Amino acid sequence: MTTVSKEVDPQGVEESAGDRHHRLRWVILGVLGLAQLMVVLDATIVNIALPHAQESLGFDNADRQWIVTAYALAFGSLLLLGGRLSDIFGRRNTLLIGLVGFAVMSAVGGAAVNFDMLVIARAGQGVFGALLAPAALSLLTTSFVDPKERGTAFGIFGAIAGGGGAIGLLLGGVLTEWADWRWCLYVNLAIAAIAIVGALLFIGSQKAQVRPRLDLPGVVTVSIALFSIVYGFSNAETNGWGDWATITWLIAGVVVLAVFVYLQSKTAHALLPLRIVLDRTRGGSFLMVFITGIGMFGIFLFLTYYLQQNLGFSPISTGLAFLPMIGALVVTATLSTSIFLPRFGPRWLMTVGMLVAAGGMLLLTQLTETSTYAAHILPGLIIMGLGIGASMAPAMQGAISGVSADDAGVASATVNTMQQVGGSVGTALLSTIASSAVTSYLTDHASQMASNPQYTGQLAAVHSYTTAFGWAAGIFAIGGIIAAVLIRSGKLPATPEDALVVHA
């Protein structure tokens, strides 16, 4: 049931709030895209600024990872809670709180006078990001009811989710090189201000007729589980998989996650109703988002090192180098969801997309110390962009297809959780693999290392990158196989008619 109010438009014609929301849907997409971009790019924009922030605030290398990890921990562990809060208190309200809080924390981080202040600000960004990210995705779901238009909207939104990390690298490079590292945080004030004004002007107040109850045991257990898992993988990146803290945190995370699943099966007001993830298409789509997160972060991390350390690219040039991938990603994300997904369904789109992305990654395994960008990197980037765009956007739409209004927020939050945790897992896993590859190479070439240490070190670094690219290609290929086996054939289920309730 939909509750509506009437207002008079400039032509003097009475217009319901629901009709106005529908009329402004493309403007709303722009607002939601800005919010999503801010959250995604903040996962990478600070990376390029880290050396400058370290020099400015005087913290050591061992502490540097916490600038990135603090954001990932807070964001990843609180996403499901943020999604359910948007179902309870209204998606626009939750979006606005998230935007304002994210902006405030960005200002605090930009003005940081010491390491502790910067870490607290980054954690605060993660907390408020966990509110606004699921609210934005669920608002997108409720704003587009026509299947063809929804496909286009999700294509654009999926392109932002997929390319935001690369945009963060470019923007971080520009701001760090031309202004100051603090502007990598201050820039969020401008983005958030535009999104806040847009949300107030164009998005109607939305809430369910019956508010779902908050599942506090579920909130506590899933937050602890996700925190433990993300922290465990972050610790593995620094101290290795054999470190006692890594093992302890990961085991604790898995055990508490099992407790969470058990609790969800027994409560009538589950934080994450199991019906959302046990559906084959939705469950498979969540897995595709997770696997894409693993592979994408591998691209950004190691290719950034290669471009800067081996080819001598500046931070700005490094960011620009990723633009062809973003362009290819945008094209296929939009075409796949607007044209192919409504006709053929998600199964083969995700399968082919994952396999194409694997092929692009395989091209990067051929890099040597003498490779060039145009001949050896650009083709792989474009192919990966085509593949990721073809799989990422349909996966995001498939993950929230057919859910009821009461579950839209938490289903959207689960999409973001999968991408965030996938990124954390990918960064730690591939970093550890790369580190082991360096050690193995130097051991096998000890005599060469003694006679020419600088050149041998360069060869070892390139070997570590190509090894990581090979593993990432395998991960994408596994994703393609999972999509072919797990996801149902046919079109996505329609969104229930009760998905949008608008109040004046």
The pLDDT value recorded for residue 83 is 83
Question: What is the amino acid identity at position 68?
Answer: V
Question: What is the amino acid identity at position 62?
Answer: A
Least confident range of 15-24, 129-138, 319-328, 389-398: 15-24
pLDDT digits (tens, 9 = 90+) for 53-111: 888 998 876 677 788 778 888 888 888 888 888 888 888 999 999 999 999 999 999 99
- Domains of the chain, start order: 6-214+271-503 (1.20.1250.20)
Position 39 pLDDT exceeds 60: yes
- Distance (Å, whole) CA 22 – CA 16: 10
Least confident range of 156-160, 170-174, 204-208, 213-217: 204-208
Q: Which of 367, 219, 399 minimizes the C-alpha distance to 291?
A: 399
Report helix, strand or coil for 447. helix
CA torsion angle 317 319 322 326 (round to 10): -140
User: What own/partner pairs with CB < 8 Å and gap ≥ 24 does 228-231 have?
Assistant: 228/252, 228/253, 228/256, 229/253, 229/254, 229/257, 229/421, 229/424, 230/69, 230/72, 230/73, 230/76, 230/77, 230/420, 230/421, 230/424, 231/69, 231/73
Q: Which residue has the higher pLDDT, 48 or 15?
A: 48
pLDDT digits (tens, 9 = 90+) for 333-362: 888 888 888 888 888 899 999 999 999 999
Total Cβ atoms within 10 A of residue 390: 31
Most trustworthy range by pLDDT among 44-48, 108-112, 241-245: 108-112
The pLDDT value recorded for residue 171 is 86
HEC sequence for 486-499: HCCCCCCCCCCHHH
Q: Which residue has the higher pLDDT, 121 or 369?
A: 121
Most trustworthy range by pLDDT among 40-54, 66-80, 380-394: 380-394
Most trustworthy range by pLDDT among 144-153, 187-196, 494-503: 187-196
Helix ranges, 240-374 (H):
244-266, 274-278, 280-305, 315-321, 323-335, 341-344, 347-364
Grade residue 206 by pLDDT with cuts at 50, 70 and 90: low
Structure token pair of residue 237: 């990146």
Length of the chain: 504
- Distance (Å, whole) CA 144 – CA 154: 9
The pLDDT value recorded for residue 502 is 34
Position 438 pLDDT exceeds 80: yes
Most trustworthy range by pLDDT among 201-210, 221-230, 249-258, 271-280: 249-258
Position 422 pLDDT exceeds 50: yes
The pLDDT value recorded for residue 10 is 52
Q: How far is CA 424 from the centre of its chain?
A: 10
Helix ranges, 42-60 (H):
45-57
Grade residue 4 by pLDDT with cuts at 50, 70 and 90: very low
The pLDDT value recorded for residue 5 is 45
Q: Which residue has the higher pLDDT, 412 or 192?
A: 192
Least confident range of 233-237, 308-312, 480-484: 233-237
Q: Which residue has the higher pLDDT, 299 or 363?
A: 363
Q: Is 169 within 8 Å of 319 (Cβ atoms)?
A: yes
